[in-house]
C-alpha cells in the first residue's frame, strides 16, 4: 500500500516501555481528538500502520464497509478521504 496521510492525521513516535514494538506509533484525528478514552487512536509498528489503523477505525465508526482487497465503500465525504484501495491503484 502506498503511503497515505491526510492532513488532519497527526502521528507521534511513542516507544512505550514494553518489550513488543507493534505499538510504537500512534495516529489521531487532529480535528476531533479530545483525549477522551472513546476517541480513536491508531496504533502500529510503523507510522503508516498507525495511520491505516486510525483510518479503519474512523470509517468503521461511520458504518463504512472496509474491504481494501476488493475496493471499499469509504466514508470519504464525511471523513475527507478517498478509499485507500482506490488511491493505491491510481497511476
pLDDT recorded at residue 88:
42
pLDDT, one tens digit per residue, over 58-85 is 877 766 655 554 444 445 444 555 444 4
For residue range 10-31, what is the model confidence (pLDDT) as tens digits? Answer: 999 998 888 999 999 999 998 8
**For the chain, how many helices (H) and strands (E)?**
3, 3
Domain count, the chain: 1
Residue 36: inside a domain: yes
**14 within 8 A of 25, measured Cβ to Cβ:** yes
Residue 3 lies in a domain: no
Q: Which domain holds residue 84?
A: 9-88
Half-sphere exposure of 36 (CA within 13 A, CB side): 7
Check pLDDT > 80 for residue 87: no
Domain assignment of residue 68, yes or no: yes
More confident residue, 29 or 87: 29
Amino acid at each position: 500500500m502506498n503511503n497515505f496521510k491526510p492532513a488532519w492525521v497527526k502521528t507521534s513516535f511513542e516507544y512505550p516501555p514494553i518489550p513488543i514494538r507493534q505499538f510504537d506509533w500512534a495516529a489521531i484525528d487532529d480535528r476531533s481528538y479530545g483525549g477522551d478514552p472513546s476517541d480513536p487512536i491508531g496504533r502500529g509498528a510503523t507510522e503508516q500502520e498507525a495511520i491505516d489503523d486510525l483510518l479503519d477505525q474512523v470509517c468503521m465508526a461511520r458504518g463504512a464497509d472496509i474491504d481494501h482487497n476488493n475496493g471499499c465503500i469509504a466514508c470519504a465525504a464525511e471523513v475527507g478521504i478517498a478509499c485507500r484501495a482506490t488511491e493505491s491503484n491510481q497511476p
